[in-house]
Structure 1
């Protein structure tokens, strides 16, 4: 007998945040895109009830809270999002956070950097 898993996700959420290794990056800010998903067992009995799923607005609020902070590394933002999601949604079996920076200061016309963290409940 199988099980059904549900994934609630926000993709390509755009932020302009004071995150960067160099002080001028934190002063000027950078453009970031965040992908965030939470997976958990699907209970079909009341599939049209918001209490049986995750509210996208709540997920977005979590991202906003974390992405507005001044910090040096994307890894710390991704870890904070992941930790907060694990705390809020203990029933989650998988959580994925990926943050993409669109203009790292490499002196290259077109490059994106990306940091991703994945949690799997054991």
Structure 2
């Protein structure tokens, strides 16, 4: 018997957040792009019912909540997103989160740093 897996994703959600190891980064903030993707079994008797899927607006609101506070490391933000998704949606099979920091303060020209977490049940 075949199985169908559904994926819901948000790509390149842009945030200006006070995240950084150095106090200047937390004071001035920086630009970040976040990708999040979740998958779960497709068991959808009516594909026009929002209750039968995951609302990507709710995914975005989780990102807004996690990216707002001051913190030192992107790793903690990625972990908080992962934990919040697992808490809210019990049926998730996979979760992928990537957070890209624009122009991190290490002297690179138009560089990005990236932290990613991947979960698989």
User: TM-score, with normalisation over the residues of structure 2?
Assistant: 0.97
The equivalent residue for 1:66 is: 66
> For residues 86 and 44 of structure 1, what CA distance do their matches in structure 2 show?
20
CA contact (8 A) 2:17 2:68 kept: yes
> For residues 99 and 17 of structure 1, what CA distance do their matches in structure 2 show?
12
User: TM-score, with normalisation over the residues of structure 1?
Assistant: 0.96
The equivalent residue for 1:118 is: 118
Paired residues for 1:1-122 under 5 Å: 1-121=1-121
> For residues 44 and 57 of structure 1, what CA distance do their matches in structure 2 show?
19
CA contact (8 A) 2:5 2:42 kept: yes
Q: By how many angstroms is 1:56 displaced?
A: 1.4
Q: By how many angstroms is 1:44 displaced?
A: 3.6
- Tell me how many residue pairs correspond in the alignment: 121
> For residues 87 and 3 of structure 2, what CA distance do their matches in structure 1 show?
24
Q: By how many angstroms is 1:110 displaced?
A: 1.6
CA contact (8 A) 2:100 2:114 kept: yes
Q: Which runs of 5+ in 2 are unaligned?
A: none
CA contact (8 A) 2:44 2:53 kept: no
> For residues 40 and 48 of structure 2, what CA distance do their matches in structure 1 show?
16
